[in-house]
């Protein structure tokens, strides 16, 4: 895989993400509630599957930073959309950086590659080898290894003014990248629905007008943490 350097994107704008866990309504019922929220939310993309390969240190430090509530933490993943197996047309190397309650992302787009359920431990090194990623980041990433594959269906909504965005995720499944399991078979299925309200820091005071209309439970649930707990049965 080869990174296309001119498409790299560093987002310096920190944003909030409020997560809500829903275990008693269907996706359609939730979407109907979203459409009635203040701000005139409308669908901006057709629903699609999101696939991720997560990377962590051998001691899964990113996992422990999350569950221990560290103020500064990060996630590293390769993301693509659509089919899990086969030709991956537009993979993205993504660094998700959190600083307290806000976060930002750094993206590196790469060429297509084939995914057949077998993940090389060196896939990330191959991905970043010939890029203009700063050397200190390359060095940090070179010590990471694949720890989780997850997949879910996502729909996307945004207010008319573009200031607030909502994603709705369900059909969430987890896979162990070290396993020889059949990736076409759905295992470790999480039946909950996750709704995320996303907005820039300067919109926080207005966000309460939206979140107060959501009859759901606010959560700090992390797909990465839940996935690691699921595939390792909390024996880590």
| Long-range contacts, 203-208 (Cβ 8 Å, 24+) | 203/16, 203/163, 203/164, 204/16, 206/163, 206/164, 207/16, 207/18, 207/164
List pLDDT tens digits, range 115-144: 887 788 887 877 777 666 778 888 888 899
Q: Which one, of 225, 181, 194, 166, lies nearest residue 84 by Cα?
A: 181
Q: Does the pLDDT of residue 192 top 60, yes or no?
A: yes
Mean pLDDT over residues 15-34, rounded? 94
- Report DSSP state, residue 85: S
Mean pLDDT over residues 84-102, rounded? 89
Q: Which one, of 183, 200, 113, lies nearest residue 148 by Cα?
A: 183
Mean pLDDT over residues 176-191, rounded? 61
| Long-range contacts, 167-171 (Cβ 8 Å, 24+) | 167/195, 167/196, 167/198, 168/27, 168/30, 168/31, 168/34, 168/193, 168/194, 168/195, 169/50, 169/193, 169/194, 169/195, 169/196, 169/223, 170/27, 170/194
Mean pLDDT of the residues in the chain: 86
Lowest mean pLDDT among 26-40, 67-81, 168-182: 168-182
Q: How far is CA 115 from CA 54, 133, 146, 160, 188, in A?
A: 14, 24, 14, 37, 20
* pLDDT in the model for residue 187: 52
pLDDT more than 90, % of the chain: 59
Q: Does the pLDDT of residue 13 top 60, yes or no?
A: yes
Mean pLDDT over residues 189-200, rounded? 89
Please tell me the CATH code under which domain 5-231 is placed. 2.40.320.10
Lowest mean pLDDT among 19-23, 140-144, 206-210, 229-233: 229-233
Q: Which one, of 48, 122, 55, lies nearest residue 89 by Cα?
A: 48
Q: Which residues partner with 173 through β-bridges?
A: 151, 189
**Cβ 190 vs Cβ 222: under 8 Å:** no
List pLDDT tens digits, range 37-48: 999 999 999 999
**Cβ 47 vs Cβ 213: under 8 Å:** no
Mean pLDDT over residues 100-129, rounded? 81
* pLDDT in the model for residue 17: 95
Q: Does the pLDDT of residue 149 top 60, yes or no?
A: yes
Q: Please work out, in degrees rounded to the nearest 5, the angle formed at the alpha carbon of residue 225 by the alpha carbons of 223 and 227.
A: 65
CA 167 to chain centre: 11
Mean pLDDT over residues 178-207, rounded? 77
Pairing of strands 72-81, 113-115: unpaired
pTM to 2 decimals?
0.89
Q: Which two tokens stand for residue 152?
A: 């879910």
Domain boundaries, the chain: 5-231
């Amino acid at each position: 895989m080869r990174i296309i350097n001119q498409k790299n994107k560093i987002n310096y704008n920190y944003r909030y993400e409020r997560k809500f866990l829903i275990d008693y309504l269907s996706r359609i019922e939730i979407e109907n509630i979203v459409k009635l929220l203040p701000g005139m939310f409308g669908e901006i993309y057709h629903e699609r599957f999101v696939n991720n390969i997560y990377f962590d240190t051998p001691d899964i430090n990113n996992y422990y930073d999350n569950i221990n509530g560290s103020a500064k933490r990060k996630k590293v993943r390769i993301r693509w959309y659509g089919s899990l197996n086969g030709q991956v047309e537009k993979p993205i190397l993504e660094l998700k950086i959190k600083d307290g309650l806000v976060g930002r992302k750094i993206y590196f787009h790469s060429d297509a590659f084939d995914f057949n359920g077998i993940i090389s431990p060196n896939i990330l090194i191959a991905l970043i080898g010939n890029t203009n990623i700063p050397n200190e980041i390359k060095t940090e990433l070179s010590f990471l290894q694949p720890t989780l594959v997850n997949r879910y269906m996502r729909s996307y909504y945004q207010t008319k003014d573009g200031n607030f965005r909502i994603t709705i995720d369900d059909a969430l499944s987890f896979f162990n990248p070290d396993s020889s399991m059949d990736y076409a078979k759905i295992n470790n299925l999480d039946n909950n629905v996750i709704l995320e309200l996303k907005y820039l820091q300067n919109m926080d005071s207005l966000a309460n007008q939206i979140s107060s209309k959501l009859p759901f439970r606010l959560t700090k649930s992390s797909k990465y943490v839940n996935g690691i707990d699921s595939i390792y049965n909390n024996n880590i």
